[in-house]
A and B are shown apart, each in its own frame.
Chain A
Amino acid sequence: MLPNDPISRVLYIDLTKKTSQVVDRSDLFEAYIGGAGVAAQLLLEECPPGIDAFDPRNPIILAVGPLVGNLPLASKTVAMFKSPHTGNLGESHAGGRSAVAIRMAGYGAIVIKGASETPLWVSIDGDEVHLRDATTLWGLSNTVTGRVVRENEGGAGLRTILRIGRAGEQMLPYANVMCETYRHFGRIGLGAVFGSKKLKALVVSGKRSLPVADRRAYRQLYDEIYQQATTSKLMKKYHDLGTASNILPLNAIGGLPTRNLQAGRIVNAERISGEAFAEGYLGRRLACTHCPVGCIHIAALREPYENEPYFMRTRMVAYDYEPIFALGSMLGINEPRNLLRLLDRIDDFGLDCMSAGVVLAWATEAVEKGLIPADELDGVSLRWGGYQGYLAAAERLLSQPTPFYQALARGVDYASSVYGGREFALAYGGNEIPGYHTGPAAHLGFLLGARHSHLDNAGYSVDQKEMLKETVPPERLINMLLEEEGARQILSSLVVCFFARNLYDTNMILRSLEQVGMPMTAERLAEIGRDIWRAKYQFKLREGFDLLAQTVPQRIYETDSALGPIDETYMQQAIAYAANLIGELAPAS
């Protein structure tokens, strides 16, 4: 690392004692680069074994990497914590202004421990750390909370504002943390951990310069990366239509989970395609700080009030592939306006929209199959495509008027353990599925991924490339997934956006690391990737993860994937092999 680079400074904040201190952790950044690598070590250090996710000792760790603020597309912050949703490793990534703001404030990582008795927000401006009273913000939506914090803090343009909505306050295990209104630390409940600490918001800002190894070489490298980022086809796809561009291709191959995965295609998919949203609703495009691509797409939802036809309200709603899957096809909604209405509401509550969609889809099928006593529905009609029922049900995930909604608020795993319907409860390790029914690799990927995310190992991509050509033997498939997950640890430790994975190949990563004073060999880099994966799995195993005890939802075998029926024997062979391999690679310590 370079002298005067603040990357190794870790800010520890204790919300119980109301104290903070900065500790130099060069040891961690030198060995694990930053981001996921450093966060995993801090989690192992800070999170006592076996604690409840809402125990005040559960740390919230936010980590960035050395390229942030130096090179484009290094724009992500990695959050780690014990997840209240999976009861295990919690890892969530977000962009927005978060990574650059943390780096410009002069930190490589922030660790928040303890819990406050009264609501507060934490303000970090460079070396200044303030705990502010958030009593008056408790109960307010994400949107209003963001506005109030914005108006009460400095650093406009240079700050990140992370906050929770009511779902986080109520500690729903799939509550998320919103970042700059349109990005999220989604999945597996970081919002609930914020809520358990009475932490309503966190604002971070700063402005500084960063040293580089060789000014001339640095500028050359920058120009090269910038040039590639602004001219590549992949980046153009993300810029033009965003991730929503994947709706039509996934639907065409039958890999778009529809009506709780009773099908892999939705009729009139073109109405909820990236193209349709762009033509009919796109109101603005945004970028994360230091990313020239700008993949964030915001829809303008303009609607008259029911009784005042010339009184309009215009809501701005960020959309992507996953929300369209979860609140669209999964619920049989192919009317974009209804989808946006539902997404807007769920976002404002601060619920993870993917989990919420899968939960509502399971609930609809459970009602259809007569598993739910009518009086527990509280007058709500759940049927495919019926967005008004879904709006009403989403509100009841918070108000929880009956045991049914109380169960739904805990996710499909729990709800199906109470009411039955396990075979169509679409979750892995407690985390509801993402939107890819592309074949066995996608599902094995969700199951094996350290955080049960499709981004852990990109199984969906293996299905569409390798498996499409020929059925890869299960052992080889598992090796491919684990290898990819190891490699991805490097990107998420540099905190380079996964969309830039082709641009930041090994050579480019090594050149970049040289400029931040961390020269190393390709072999060392690969080794670090595996070490990070191993550290994450050690945490998982320590917290009781058992691959062989995981349930694969029966539904995935009933509905043809993009590659045709998924063979249960193949899956079992793959899982048995993976369990052995994980035991060897990440022995329980």
Chain B
Amino acid sequence: MRLSVVDTELCVGCQCCMFACARRSGLGGIASSAITVRSMGGMEKGFKVIVCRACDDPPCARACPTGALTPKPGGGVRLNASKCIGCGRCAQACVLGAVQWDDDVNKPSICIQCGYCVSFCPHGVLAMEDK
């Protein structure tokens, strides 16, 4: 299963998904959110909802110089934080901009495809789908 964006036109920009993702750690705020929502350049144009697509051969993992990011069976990546040096190449490698950055720890926030955000989208923008 992977996270998918059903229809960005339904998004009202509340960012509850971002708070949900960060809250998995038990904390408030959004530092560790692996999902991001922002306007298309003025809210009247609607929103971009940027999620990890769980690539089969993920460019972010290929760009990692220390082996901290490794491909997962079935798509997506796993982060071994102890190996991460915070160089940011993974974030640069993702053309979607789906590798978010946690400034609190200076490491990427990696989506683990858990679907927690889906249950906090009030308008059905997000869903889990079979890959």
Partner of A287, one of B14, B25, B31: B14
B32 at the interface (CB under 8 A from A): yes
Q: Tell me, in angstroms, the Cα distance from A103 to B15 when the chains sit together.
A: 15
Residues of B within 8 A of A292 (CB): 14, 16, 120, 122
Partner of B12, one of A104, A156, A210, A286: A286
Q: Are A69 and B38 in contact (CB under 8 A)?
A: no
Q: Are B28 and A211 in contact (CB under 8 A)?
A: yes
Q: Are A284 and B44 in contact (CB under 8 A)?
A: yes
Residues of B within 8 A of A158 (CB): 30, 38
Q: Are B122 and A294 in contact (CB under 8 A)?
A: yes
Q: Are A104 and B19 in contact (CB under 8 A)?
A: no
Indicate whether A209 sits within 8 Å of B104 (C-beta atoms), given known contacts A226-B120, A286-B43, A316-B44.
yes
- What 1/0 mask marks residues of chain A from 460 to 502 whose CB sits below 8 Å from any chain B CB? 0000000000000000000000000000000000000000000
Stretch at the interface among A212-220, A359-367, A417-425, A551-559: A212-220
Q: Tell me, in angstroms, the Cα distance from A294 to B46 when the chains sit together.
A: 13
Indicate whether A210 sits within 8 Å of B23 (C-beta atoms), given known contacts A181-B44, A290-B16.
no
CB distance from A193 to the nearest CB of B (A): 26
CB distance from B31 to the nearest CB of A (A): 4
B41 at the interface (CB under 8 A from A): yes
Within 8 A of B (CB), among A66-120: 69-72, 100, 103-104
CB distance from B120 to the nearest CB of A (A): 7
Closest A residue, CB atoms, query B46: A284
Q: Are A285 and B12 in contact (CB under 8 A)?
A: yes
Q: Classify the interface of chain B: helix, strand, loop or mixed.
A: loop
Instruction: Please give the number of chain B residues whose Cβ is less than 8 angstroms from any Cβ of chain A in the complex.
Output: 30
Within 8 A of B (CB), among A508-567: none
Q: Are B16 and A298 in contact (CB under 8 A)?
A: no
Q: Tell me, in angstroms, the Cα distance from A86 to B29 when the chains sit together.
A: 37
A570 at the interface (CB under 8 A from B): no
**Which of A103, A104, A286, A293 gathers most chain B CB within 10 Å?**
A286
B26 at the interface (CB under 8 A from A): yes
CB distance from B106 to the nearest CB of A (A): 12
Indicate whether A156 sits within 8 Å of B14 (C-beta atoms), given known contacts A218-B26, A284-B46.
no
Q: Tell me, in angstroms, the Cα distance from A309 to B48 when the chains sit together.
A: 33
**Which of A100, A207, A212, A287 gathers most chain B CB within 10 Å?**
A207
B73 at the interface (CB under 8 A from A): no
Q: Are B15 and A209 in contact (CB under 8 A)?
A: no
Closest A residue, CB atoms, query B50: A157
Partner of A298, one of B15, B25, B44: B44
B83 at the interface (CB under 8 A from A): no
Partner of B26, one of A71, A147, A212, A285: A212
**Which of B37, B39, B43, B120 gathers most chain A CB within 10 Å?**
B43
Q: Tell me, in angstroms, the Cα distance from A146 to B39 when the chains sit together.
A: 13
Q: Are B44 and A207 in contact (CB under 8 A)?
A: no
Q: Tell me, in angstroms, the Cα distance from A69 to B22 when the chains sit together.
A: 11
Residues of B within 8 A of A285 (CB): 12
A580 at the interface (CB under 8 A from B): no
Instruction: Please give the number of chain A residues whose Cβ is less than 8 angstroms from any Cβ of chain B in the complex.
Output: 44
Closest B residue, CB atoms, query A211: B27
Q: Tell me, in angstroms, the Cα distance from A286 to B122 when the chains sit together.
A: 12
A291 at the interface (CB under 8 A from B): yes
Q: Tell me, in angstroms, the Cα distance from A215 to B28 when the chains sit together.
A: 9
Q: Tell me, in angstroms, the Cα distance from A147 to B44 when the chains sit together.
A: 12
Indicate whether A219 sits within 8 Å of B23 (C-beta atoms), given known contacts A287-B13, A294-B122.
yes
Q: Are B122 and A156 in contact (CB under 8 A)?
A: no
Q: Tell me, in angstroms, the Cα distance from A230 to B14 when the chains sit together.
A: 13
Residues of B within 8 A of A70 (CB): 28-29
Q: Are A181 and B29 in contact (CB under 8 A)?
A: no
A237 at the interface (CB under 8 A from B): no
A180 at the interface (CB under 8 A from B): yes
Partner of A209, one of B14, B27, B36, B122: B27
Closest A residue, CB atoms, query B26: A215
CB distance from B122 to the nearest CB of A (A): 4
Residues of A within 8 A of B120 (CB): 226, 292
Q: Tell me, in angstroms, the Cα distance from A211 to B29 when the chains sit together.
A: 8
Residues of A within 8 A of B31 (CB): 207-209
Q: Are B30 and A286 in contact (CB under 8 A)?
A: no
Q: Tell me, in angstroms, the Cα distance from A337 to B124 when the chains sit together.
A: 32
B123 at the interface (CB under 8 A from A): yes
CB distance from B33 to the nearest CB of A (A): 8
Q: Are A207 and B41 in contact (CB under 8 A)?
A: no
Q: Are B29 and A104 in contact (CB under 8 A)?
A: yes
B103 at the interface (CB under 8 A from A): yes
Closest A residue, CB atoms, query B43: A286
CB distance from A219 to the nearest CB of B (A): 6
Partner of B16, one of A72, A210, A218: A72
Within 8 A of B (CB), among A273-319: 283-294, 296, 298, 316
Q: Are A181 and B42 in contact (CB under 8 A)?
A: yes
Counting from the closest, the 7 A-B pairs by CB-CB distance are A157-B38, A215-B26, A210-B28, A70-B28, A287-B14, A294-B12, A316-B44
Having A182-B43, A298-B44, one finds 15 other A-B pairs with CB under 8 Å, namely A70-B28, A72-B16, A103-B29, A150-B41, A157-B37, A207-B29, A207-B103, A208-B103, A209-B32, A209-B104, A283-B44, A286-B43, A290-B14, A290-B19, A292-B122
Residues of B within 8 A of A (CB): 12-16, 19, 22-23, 25-32, 36-39, 41-44, 46, 103-104, 120, 122-123
Contact sample, A vs B, 13 pairs, CB 8 Å cutoff: A72-B19, A147-B41, A147-B42, A158-B30, A182-B43, A182-B44, A208-B104, A219-B26, A226-B16, A285-B12, A289-B13, A290-B19, A294-B12
